[in-house]
Amino acid sequence: MRFSVLAFAMAAALPAAAETIPVSSSVTEVTLYPGLADVTRTAALALPEGRHRLILQNVPKTALLETLQVEIAGARRVATLLRADYVPPRDADDPEVQAAEARVKEVEARMAAVRDEAARARSGVRAAEASIGFLQQLGANEGLAQADAAALSEIARMISTEAAGASQAAVAAEAEARRIELQLEDLEDELAEAQAALAAITLEDDDRLFIAVDIEAEQAGEGSVTLSYFSGGYDIGWQPAYEMHLATDGEPEVTLKRAVMLKQDTGENWDDIALTLSTAVPFEQGSPSVLHPWLRRIEEPAPPPSAKRQLQDGNFASLAEPVLEAPVIVEEAQGGWGADLGGAAATYRFALPVSIASGADLLRLEMDSLRAEAKLQAVAVPSRDETAYRVATFANTFGEQLLASDEVPRFVDGKLVALEPFEGLAPGAEMEAGFGPIKGLQLHRDVLGQSEGEQGLISRSNAQVQKVEIEVENQTAQDWQLRLLDRVPYSQQDDLEITWSARPRPSEENVEKQRGILAWDMELSAGESRTIQLETTLNWPEDMELR
C-alpha cells in the first residue's frame, strides 16, 4: 500500500524559534532476502536544546512506508510526517550535495592547472618560432649583398645553427605540452564520474521520500538517527551459485564450491555496508492453508477422452512418463562468513564491507568449499542414450540446507563437462550428480524379429510380443562399475496380463519403487562387452483394445 501523505502522529505547530535541521544519512547495514532488502541508515548530528524538526533526506521511494522505523538518540521524538508525493526540493545546504559539488569544482580546478602548465610549455614553442622567423628575415637582409664570401659563409653557418636549435626547442616544447595534456584524459573521466554523482543526487529529488521528525531535546549535545525499512522488488535479492568438481585420481571425491550472487535495484547505492543474507522467503506463504469441508457425489460415468483429445486440451500429465526427482559434504572453510543456522531461517554475515550499485552491479561473493567422498559409476539408459554417463553419489553432511541454483557448472578433473540445474539438498540427503558422457561406453538397443511390417513386434488382435537385445561395449582403457537401466510395461488391470523374461536377470526390479524399471549392475572391464536379452508378452481379452 502506498500513501501520498501519511502521518504517524500529528504534533502542534513548532515554536517560532525552532530550527529545521536537514539530516543526510547513509546506508550502513542490509539484510538481504530473495526479493526483499531490510535496509538500515544512520546519521550523526549535533542537537540544539529545545523543539526542532529533522528532515531525514536520502530515503528512496522504493522504501515501504508502512515498514519505516525511526530511532532518535539524544532527543524525544514527538511526531513523524511521511510524504511520498510533492516532495520539496533538496536543501542546498545538504552535506551530500555540498560534497558532490565540491568534488566537481576540485576536479575542474585540477584540469585548469594542467591546461595552464601545458600553455606555459607551449610558450617555448612560440619563442622558438619567433627566433626562426627572425633568422629567416636576417638571411633575406639586402645589406648582406655587399659582404664578402667569407662573411656570407659565416653568417649562413650561424643562421643554420641557430635555426636548428630553435626548431629543436620548438619540438621539445610541443612534446612537453602534449605530455602534460595527457593528464587531462584521466581528469576528464574523473570529472564525468563527479558530475554523474552530483546528477544522481539531484535526480533523487524526484525519487525519494520526504520524512520530517519533530523532536525535543532537553539539552544540547551529540545525537544520532537510525532509520530502517524494507525495499522489495524483482531485482532485489540473492541466490546461491555453485561449482561442482569431481576428482577421479585415487578415491573419487566431490567438491562443491559455494558462492552467492547479489543484486539490488532499490534506487540507492550501497557503499561499504555490513551485509547479512537470510534464507527466509518473506513473500511466500506464511500461514497454514484453510481446509474446507469435502462434499462427494456420484454421477453417470463419462467416457475417457482419447489421447488426441488430451493433446488438444493440453492435458499431458496422464500421457507423460513418471518424472524422477533428483534426490556435500564436509565443511572445508567459512572464509569471511559467519553463519547462524539456528532458528526459523539460516543467516550468513559477510565479514568485510560490501558495495553494490543500484540497478547496475551483479556482485559475486565467494563462500567456502564443501568436500565429500563419492561413489562413482557409469549409468547407462540404452532406450534414451547412445553412451553411458558418469554419476557420482554423495551425501550432504554439511549440516545445513543447500539451496537450489539455476545452472551449476560441473567439472571432471578440472575440465568442464556439463552445466545443469541444482535442485538443492537437505542435510543428510544423498544426491546423484551427472558429470558428462563417457564416450567410450557405447550403447546399442535393437528390437529383434519382424511381423506385420513392424520390426520387432509380433502381434495379433489380443496379444503382443516384443524382443529386445541390449549391448554395452567398453571402448575405454579403464574398468567401469556400470549400472544399466531399462524398462518393461506394467498393468493395474487383471485382464491385461504382462509377462517378461531377461537373460541375464536384472540385479534390481522396480528401481526406486517405480514399477517396471529394471537395473543391471555389472563390472565392465576395458575392451569388454555385455549383451542383455529382454522379451515382453502382453495378453488381453478379444473385445478390448491395448492402450
In tens, the pLDDT along 402-447 reads 888 888 999 999 999 999 999 889 988 999 999 999 999 999 999 8
Residues 36, 236: contact at Cβ < 8 Å? yes
Strand spans (E) along 449-516: 450-451, 454-455, 457-460, 463-474, 480-487, 497-503, 508-509
Say which range, 4-8, 125-129, 404-408, 477-481, has the weakest mean pLDDT.
4-8
Closest CA to 376 of 285, 241, 245: 245
Predicted pLDDT at 253: 93
Residue 36 in this model has a pLDDT that exceeds 80: yes
Tens digits of residue pLDDT in 243-253: 999 999 889 99
pTM greater than 0.85: no
List the single range of 103-117, 408-422, 490-504, 521-535 with lowest mean pLDDT: 103-117
Residue 310 domain-assigned? no
Residue 83 lies inside a defined structural domain of this protein: yes
The span from the CA of 483 to the CA of 134, in Å, is 98
Exposed, middle or buried by CB within 10 Å (0-12, 13-18, 19+), for 36? buried
Average pLDDT, stretch 314-343? 50
Alpha-carbon distance of 453 to 469, in angstroms, equals 19
Q: Is residue 409 part of a domain?
A: yes
| Cα–Cα distance for residue pair 134/144, rounded to 1 Å | 15
Cis amide bond preceding 240, omega within 30 = no
Average pLDDT for residues 120-137, to the nearest whole number? 66
Check pLDDT > 50 for residue 452: no
Single-letter code of the amino acid located at 77: R
Q: How far apart are the two ends of the chain, measured CA to CA in Å? A: 55
% of the chain surpassing 70 pLDDT: 76
Region 388-393: mean pLDDT is 95
Kindly state whether residues 255 and 340 are assigned to the same domain.
yes
Q: Give the Cα separation of 344 and 351 in Å (integer).
A: 22
337 and 405 together in one domain = yes
Q: For residue range 289-309, what is the model confidence (pLDDT) as tens digits?
A: 887 887 767 677 767 665 545
Is the pLDDT confidence value at 85 over 80?
no
Does residue 94 have a pLDDT over 90? no
Average pLDDT, stretch 491-509?
92
With a cut of 60, say whether residue 456 has pLDDT above it: no
Count: domains in the chain: 4
For residues 380-396, average pLDDT = 94
pLDDT of residue 323: 38
Same domain, 46 and 169: no
Q: Is 258 within 8 Å of 240 (Cβ atoms)?
A: yes
Q: Does residue 465 surpass a pLDDT of 50?
A: yes
> What was the pLDDT predicted at 461?
63
Mean pLDDT check: name the lowest of 63-67, 88-92, 130-134, 428-432: 88-92
- Residues 356-380, mean pLDDT to the nearest whole number: 90
What's the pLDDT at 11?
Answer: 40
Domain end marker among 409, 439, 469: 439
What integer pLDDT is reported at residue 204 of this predicted model?
46
Residue that terminates a domain, selected from 394, 417, 439: 439
CA distance 297 to 81: 59
How many degrees, rounded to 5, is the angle at CA 333 between CA 329 and CA 337? Answer: 115
In a domain, 431, yes or no: yes
- Quote the CA–CA distance of 424 and 411 in Å, as a whole number: 18
**In this structure, are residues 64 and 230 in contact, taking their beta carbons and an 8 Å threshold?**
yes
Element (H, E) at 429: none
In three-state secondary structure terms, 439 is strand
369 with 252, same domain? Answer: yes
Question: Does 144 score more than 70 pLDDT?
Answer: no
Same domain, 505 and 366: no
In terms of domains, do 494 and 456 share one? yes
Residue 154 within a domain: yes
Clarify whether residues 63 and 173 are in a common domain.
no
More confident residue, 26 or 152: 26
Question: Does a structural domain hold residue 159?
Answer: yes
466 shares its domain with 377: no
> Of 50, 29, 92, 354, which Cα lies nearest the Cα of 214?
50
Distance CA 460, CA 256 (A): 55
Give residue 453's pLDDT. 33
Residue 201 is predicted with a pLDDT of: 57
Using the predicted structure, report yes or no on whether residue 9 has a pLDDT greater than 60: no
Please determine, for residue 459, whether its predicted confidence score (pLDDT) is greater than 60. no
Q: Cβ(381)–Cβ(470) under 8 Å?
A: no
Contact criterion met (CB below 8 Å) for 465 and 535: yes
pLDDT value for 277: 93
Q: What is the Cα–Cα distance from 464 to 313, expressed in whole angstroms?
A: 30
| 109: in domain | yes
> Domain range for residue 108?
97-142+150-199
Structure confidence at residue 322 (pLDDT): 39
pLDDT for position 358 = 86
- C-alpha grid cell for residue 506? 536384472
Q: What is the DSSP string of 241-267?
A: EEEEEEE-SSS-EEEEEEEEEEE--SS
Question: Based on the domain organization, do 85 and 218 belong to the same domain?
Answer: yes
Statement: residue 451 has pLDDT above 70: no
Stated length of the chain: 547
Point out the least confidently predicted range of 174-178, 196-200, 308-312: 308-312
Same domain, 186 and 264: no
Of 439, 461, 481, which residue sits at a domain end? 439
Give residue 511's pLDDT: 93
pLDDT of amino acid 267 = 85
193 and 259 housed in the same domain: no
Question: 336 Cβ partners below 8 Å, 6+ apart?
Answer: 350, 351, 352, 365, 366, 367
Report if residue 314 sits inside a domain: no
355 and 273 in a single domain? The answer is: yes
Secondary structure class of 532 (helix, strand, coil): strand
Average pLDDT, the chain: 80
Of 325, 366, 316, nearest in space to 512 by CA? 325
**Residue-wise over 462-497: b if at least 16 C-beta within 10 A, else e?**
eebbbbbbbebbbebeeebebbbbbbbeeeeeeebe
The larger pLDDT score, comparing residue 453 to residue 104, is at 104
Q: What is the per-residue pLDDT for 296?
A: 63
pLDDT at 523: 95
For 114-140, what is the mean pLDDT? 68
How many CB atoms sit inside 10 A of residue 448's CB?
Answer: 14
